[in-house]
């Protein structure tokens, strides 16, 4: 029985890193209390000229203070290289809390877009699951493909993408496209090499195509990850004799083809491969070829 896997929607209830993005962030975000505001109080005097002079001084002072604040902020702004950016985007928001505030603010728009994209990808995957259960495998394939496109290039989308590839493999199995099943499982395993469900699905597909050696390899990998996996253990025991039989059959076919090729060449000289016999040296274990009429 082919099953498909579900995954929870990406978290959208994490605390935002700045109040400035409260309106742009998805629902569930709460301001962390970082607020900036400046109030300038101008003290009036009874003398109009003194008030004007004082205003001029205060304005100049405010301008000077503003320049100093701007310079100070620029000094505090960290230099962000690509490695830091990738690491931050792939980290949890709890870890970002310890980064400088300007750095958090610079990442916030990107993070918001990524969270929205992951939510859309999960919605498409859920729709695909529903279509699969209804037996609409082609339509389910389209939904899983949509989820993969939406979540592409997002560092934190590895899990949902691997699941979508594995679910596409399930669709291809139902449609009888076993080669495509193997390809989709391989894509899922490239993202998550320890994905047992994808390994099982690919092994079953290999067995249907009589790729017994490949099926044994996948099932052996499962036993390395989960030694108590009964299906994998039984499958390996069942397929080993079939793999040996197929190997011997392929060897005989190859020898037969080589013999035909040899006869076609030697026949021009009135000979055949039957005129040649291989003899094993008991002392060295090497073989020699002897000609016999």
Mean pLDDT of 100-105: 60
pLDDT of residue 70: 44
- Per residue in 204-213, pLDDT (tens digit) is 999 999 999 9
Q: Which residue has the tokens 């050696």?
A: 213
CA distances from 37 to 29, 34, 99, 274, 277 (A): 22, 10, 22, 99, 98
DSSP conformation letters of 63-98: HHHHHHHHHHHHHHSPP--HHHHHHHHTS-HHHHTT
Please report how many Cα atoms fall inside a 13 Å half-sphere around the Cα of residue 72, on the Cβ side: 6
- Identify the structural domains of the chain with CATH numbers, from first to last: 99-209 (1.25.40.10)
Cα 164 → chain centroid:
10
> Strands 276-280 and 287-291, how do they pair?
antiparallel
- Per residue in 241-292, pLDDT (tens digit) is 998 887 787 777 776 676 667 667 766 666 665 666 666 777 877 766 665 6
- Per residue in 140-192, pLDDT (tens digit) is 999 999 999 998 878 788 999 999 999 999 999 999 999 999 999 999 999 99
Mean pLDDT of 64-68: 48
């Amino acid at each position: 029985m082919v099953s498909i896997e579900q995954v929870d929607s990406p978290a959208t209830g994490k605390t935002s890193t700045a109040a400035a993005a409260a309106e742009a962030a998805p629902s569930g975000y709460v301001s962390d209390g970082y607020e900036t505001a400046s109030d300038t109080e101008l003290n009036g005097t009874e003398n109009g000229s003194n008030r004007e002079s004082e205003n001029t001084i205060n304005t100049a002072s405010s301008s000077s203070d503003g320049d100093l604040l701007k310079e100070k902020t620029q000094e505090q702004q960290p230099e962000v290289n690509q490695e830091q950016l990738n690491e931050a985007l792939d980290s949890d928001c709890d870890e970002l809390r310890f980064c400088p505030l300007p750095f958090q603010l610079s990442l916030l728009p990107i993070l918001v877009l990524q969270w929205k994209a992951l939510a859309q990808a999960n919605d498409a995957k859920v729709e695909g699951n529903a279509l699969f259960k209804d037996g609409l495998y082609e339509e389910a394939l389209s939904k899983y493909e949509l989820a993969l496109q939406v979540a592409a290039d997002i560092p934190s989308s590895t899990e949902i993408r691997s699941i979508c590839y594995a679910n596409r493999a399930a669709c291809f199995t139902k449609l009888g496209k076993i080669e495509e099943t193997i390809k989709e499982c391989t894509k899922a395993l490239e993202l998550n090499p320890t994905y047992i469900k994808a390994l099982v699905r690919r092994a079953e597909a290999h067995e249907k195509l009589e790729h017994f050696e490949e099926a044994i390899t996948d099932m052996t990998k499962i036993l390395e990850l989960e030694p108590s996996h009964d299906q994998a253990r039984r499958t390996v025991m069942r397929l080993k004799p079939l793999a040996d039989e197929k190997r011997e059959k392929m060897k005989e076919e190859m020898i037969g083809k080589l013999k035909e090729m040899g006869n076609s060449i030697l026949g021009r000289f009135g000979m055949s491969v039957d005129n040649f016999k291989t003899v094993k040296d008991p002392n060295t274990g090497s073989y020699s070829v002897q000609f016999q009429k």
